[in-house]
């Protein structure tokens, strides 16, 4: 299936590893140009080398919790590409402990990093005529689990925010959707750390999924790439679970 992404221009936050990196690779494979960012300059430089043969991709070190730096990055990328057709808000502080520091980090990075990306990119998305916004939430934003507290609360807020965008922008040629992954396993990710340091929690999390495994980053990215494409032209305001039937509540 041709997703119609050839020549399109995308911005992806947190694009050096995990789900974000898989999204960048998925978009490049479809012929899109991608500007991506991450907080660590070394990770950006390493990803740039690894992606050099995959297509047109530009990495920049940006802390999405810094609203001014985030806006400046969006403006620079839009100028370099001559516009923006889609954004993917992927970064998370992964601040799970229930303490003031985690609440502040989740607000600044997860929620305001998403809002800041959309606010800065929206004029370009409106000019695109077929703009796409995809935000990354989590099953923890839909159900109460071990990440209830700051992480789950702000992941739920992202879903609400995105569905509001979908309604507000539906008549203006911009779609907005959320992808909510279940537990996703990839090298260097949170679940590899848990597997090594807390095997009991890892076994418990793994046992919750009837598939007997966790998602791969590519499986989550496939959903993001599809929702970003013209093949999803009448899909807006949805929260797409990619969780292997992990969640048990009925999504109405």
Nearest to 170 by CA among 133, 136, 135, 137: 133
| Active-site annotation holds for 137 | yes
Which residue out of 33, 140, 151, 161 is catalytically annotated?
151
Q: Is 52 a catalytic residue?
A: no
In the set 8, 102, 106, 155, the catalytic residue is 155
- The residue annotated as part of the active site, out of 92, 102, 106, 138, is 138
Q: Which of 33, 106, 128, 137 is catalytic?
A: 137
Residue 151 is a catalytic residue = yes
Token couple for 223: 């959903």
Asked if 155 is an active-site residue, the reply is: yes
Residues known to be catalytic: 137-138, 151, 155
């Amino acid at each position: 299936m041709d997703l119609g992404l050839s020549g399109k221009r995308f911005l992806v936050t947190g694009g050096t590893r995990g789900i974000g990196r898989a999204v960048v690779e998925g978009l490049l494979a479809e012929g899109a140009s991608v500007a991506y960012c991450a907080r660590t300059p070394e990770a950006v430089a390493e990803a740039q080398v690894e992606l050099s043969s995959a297509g047109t991709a530009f990495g920049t070190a940006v802390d999405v919790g810094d609203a001014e730096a985030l806006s400046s990055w969006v403006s620079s990328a839009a100028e370099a590409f001559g516009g923006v057709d889609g954004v993917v808000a992927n970064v998370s502080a992964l601040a799970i402990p229930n303490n003031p520091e985690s609440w502040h980090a989740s607000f600044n990075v997860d929620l305001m990093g998403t809002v800041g990306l959309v606010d800065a990119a929206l004029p370009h998305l409106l000019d695109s005529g077929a703009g796409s916004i995809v935000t990354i939430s989590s099953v923890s934003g839909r159900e109460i689990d071990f990440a209830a507290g700051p992480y789950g609360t702000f992941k739920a807020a992202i879903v609400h925010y995105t569905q509001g965008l979908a309604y507000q922008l539906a008549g203006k040629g911009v779609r907005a959707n959320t992808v909510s992954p279940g537990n996703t396993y990839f090298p260097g990710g949170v679940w590899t750390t848990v597997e090594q340091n807390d095997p009991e929690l890892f076994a418990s999390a793994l046992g919750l999924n009837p598939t007997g495994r966790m998602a791969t980053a590519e499986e989550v990215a496939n959903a993001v790439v599809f929702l970003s494409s013209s093949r999803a032209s009448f899909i807006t305001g949805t929260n797409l679970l990619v969780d292997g039937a992990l969640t048990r509540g009925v999504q109405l």
